[in-house]
Amino acid sequence: MSAATKFLFDVDFAASGDGKPAEPTITLADHAVKIAEAEIAAHRRGCAEAKADAAAAVERRIADALERIAASLGAASDVLKAVEARLECEAVDVAVAVARKLAPALIAQEPFAEIAALASGCFRQLIAAPHIAVRVSDALYAAAREKLEAVARARGFEGRLVVLAEPGIAVGDCRIEWADGGINRDSAAADAAIGEAVARYVDARRAATTRGAEEMRE
């Protein structure tokens, strides 16, 4: 059995077959150029990555700012809606209060105006009716009788017109009756109906605003 060959660590495997050192594949100048090009490429990559990171950070900050602005606008919108609802309710209350103060003064100034308007419409629609009775306040009876007859003639009503005085009817109100029907002008009942409708509307508006504020807090 032959002896194992010892590995020779001092052998230069990069040397040429004839035992001479291998020639370098590039010159030092080319090597320097390659290094410079690699550094430039690395620098460019670093700049591009830095710019990308900076742009991403800016986009994140912008997105966060927009989210905060949207939240603020949403809260401001809810507040404005609440203020709008409150002002609307107050405006309705004021309008009703003013109307209630003005109505008696207007009726006192022109007590026959609403009666004439209502009777005029009835005479026009009931031109063929055999008779129509109009009940008015006894305080307004004398003037109302003469004016109602003039209105009936102007509307072409040829039936029998009866004007009656009723102590229970308020000045400016009336009750018009014919053979198969009738109609009332009752300012007190109208005021009560208007007040009820306004109260329902205001209560509903305020309740909706309260629910919106509670949902916003949640």
Q: At what angle do helices 187-217 and 28-109 cross, to 10 degrees?
A: 160
Say if 132 falls within a structural domain. Answer: yes
Highest mean pLDDT among 55-59, 70-74, 181-185: 181-185
| pLDDT tens track for 172-196 | 899 999 988 999 998 888 888 888 8
Say if 8 falls within a structural domain. Answer: no
Listed residue (75, 96, 99) closest to 88, CA to CA? 96
pLDDT bracket for residue 1 (50, 70, 90): very low
Say if 211 falls within a structural domain. Answer: no
Say if 162 falls within a structural domain. Answer: yes
| pLDDT tens track for 146-170 | 899 999 999 988 889 999 999 889 9
CATH of the domain at 145: 3.30.2320
Quote the pLDDT of residue 2: 52
Instruction: Quote the CA–CA distance of 186 and 173 in Å, as a whole number.
Output: 6
Domain span holding position 155: 110-185
> pLDDT at residue 58 above 60?
yes
Listed residue (104, 98, 78) closest to 171, CA to CA? 104
> pLDDT at residue 145 above 60?
yes
* Range 13-36 average pLDDT: 64
Say if 218 falls within a structural domain. Answer: no
Say if 49 falls within a structural domain. Answer: no
Q: At what angle do helices 141-154 and 113-125 cross, to 10 degrees?
A: 40
Say if 74 falls within a structural domain. Answer: no
Tally of structural domains, the chain: 1
The alpha-helical segments, DSSP class H, found in the chain are: 28-109, 113-125, 141-154, 187-217
Q: For strands 160-166 and 131-137, give the pairing.
A: parallel
User: How high is the mean pLDDT of the chain?
Assistant: 80
Say if 205 falls within a structural domain. Answer: no
* Range 17-37 average pLDDT: 68
**Range of weakest confidence among 13-27, 65-79, 85-99, 126-140:** 13-27
- What's the token pair of residue 213? 């504020």
